[in-house]
Amino acid sequence: MWETIAFVMIGLAVGFGALLARPELYPRPRALAVGTALVSAVLAGKLTHYVMDGHAPAVQLAVSGVVAVLLVSVPARPDLSPRRRGGRHRHA
Confidence band, pLDDT 50/70/90 cuts, at residue 38: very high
Percent of the chain with pLDDT over 90: 50
Q: What pTM was computed for the model?
A: 0.79
- What are the angstrom distances between the C-alpha of 81 and each of 34, 35, 39, 92? 19, 21, 25, 17
pLDDT in tens, 50-83: 999 888 889 999 999 999 999 998 888 777 666 6
Cβ burial of 7 (10 Å; 0-12, 13-18, 19+) is buried
